[in-house]
Amino acid sequence: MAPPKLELAAEDGARAPSPEDIANASLALSEITVSYGEKPAVFSVDAALPRESMVAIIGPNGAGKSTLLKAALGIVPRLSGSVRIFGQELERARDRVAYVPQRASVDWDFPTRVIDVVLMGFYRELGLLRFLRKGHRERARACLERVGMADFAERQIGQLSGGQQQRVFLARALAQDAELYLLDEPFAGVDAATEKAIIDVLHTLKTARKTVVCVHHDLATVADYFDHVLLINVRKVAEGPTSTTFTAKNLQATYGGRLASTHIDQLKLSS
């Protein structure tokens, strides 16, 4: 009896981006490998994410989604691979990128107020010596306004709910006025009102021709929120427009047995 034919998980996952792809991409990753100890968390991931789009990075728990984002920004060291942002080296493109970390990554009892957190978005342009001016405060307030948190400007951050914390982090990223926004699980554990507020802001960013990349965990909203997906599970499984790449077959390849087929049936998938 002939052995069962091995099938590649996804054809579009196998192709590495060309130099033109990298130059045209907002965020281009080439053969990124990150390892904690001697077990790779991310292995040789290539991606060329399009400009002016909403991109979701999708995969199961422990698939290395957050790690990939951190490696792209140099927050965790890469074992191999390179990063290009709008065709530039990472260090040259720092001002064009805004990062929204997971809100659980910081101590919310830190002595700082909501407005101070947003003002942190200006620290890089201020450098070491220049003082914060009234204009900065006004800009920070405007950013809080955009996420619906203007009334909370003077609050200590420890008094915020989870959803409010997430909005404050988003406001800090908005203060940077960047071109590429990288968000780590922005919708994790937030209430429906916050989710709506955040997605509205992200859509206005896209309208303003910015690029938004989210590590995302809720498969049910992928098709509604995002126009491009990157599926990873330590390795890249597939990448492409949501309309062609967010398929049952690719999801099965990404999640393996962890995703019940009944669950897949309920998703708005492309065929």
Partner 1 sequence: MPDAILSALLLQAGYNAALVAIGSALLGIAAGAGGTFLFLRKRALVSDAVAHATLPGIGLAFILMVALGGDGRNLVGLLAGSAVSAAVGLLLVDWIVRHTRLAEDVAIGSVLSVFFGLGVVVLTVIQSMSSGRQAGLEGFLLGSTAGMLRQDALVIAVGGALALAVLVLLRRPMTLVAFDPGYAAARGVRVQAVDLAMMALVLAVTVIGLKVVGLILIVAMLIIPPVTARLWSERTDSVVLIAGALGGLAGYLGAAVSASAPNLPTGPIIVLVSFALFCISLLFAPSRGVLAAAIRHRRFQRRVHRRQGLLALARNEPILDPLTLKVLRRDGLIRPDKVATDAGRARAAKALRDERRWDVARQMHQDEGVSGGYDGLTAIETVLTPDEIAAIDARIGTPALADKGVV
Nearer to partner 1, 61 or 105 (CB): 105
- As measured in angstroms, the least distance from the Cβ of 146 to partner 1 is 18
Nearer to partner 1, 111 or 135 (CB): 111
- As measured in angstroms, the least distance from the Cβ of 237 to partner 1 is 26
Q: What is the spatial distance between Cα 166 and Cα 75, in angstroms, rounded to a whole number?
A: 20
**CA of residue 199 relative to chain centroid, distance:** 13
- As measured in angstroms, the least distance from the Cβ of 175 to partner 1 is 12
Strand order in the sheet with 235-241: 97-100, 180-184, 211-216, 54-58, 228-233, 235-241
Surface-to-core class of residue 96, CB atoms within 10 Å of its CB (0-12 exposed, 13-18 middle, 19+ buried):
middle
Strands annotated E in the chain: 27-36, 39-49, 54-58, 80-85, 88-89, 97-100, 180-184, 211-216, 228-233, 235-241
**CA of residue 231 relative to chain centroid, distance:** 13
Q: What is the spatial distance between Cα 214 and Cα 58, in angstroms, rounded to a whole number?
A: 9
Q: How many CB atoms lie within 10 A of CB 198?
A: 24
Given a contact cutoff of 8 angstroms between Cβ atoms, the answer to whether 33 and 8 are in contact is no
- As measured in angstroms, the least distance from the Cβ of 205 to partner 1 is 17
- As measured in angstroms, the least distance from the Cβ of 101 to partner 1 is 5
Binding site for partner 1 (CB under 8 A): 70, 73-75, 91, 94, 97, 99, 101, 105-107, 110-113, 116-117, 120, 123-124, 126, 128-129, 156, 161, 163, 172, 182, 191-194
- As measured in angstroms, the least distance from the Cβ of 178 to partner 1 is 10
Q: What is the spatial distance between Cα 249 and Cα 111, in angstroms, rounded to a whole number?
A: 48
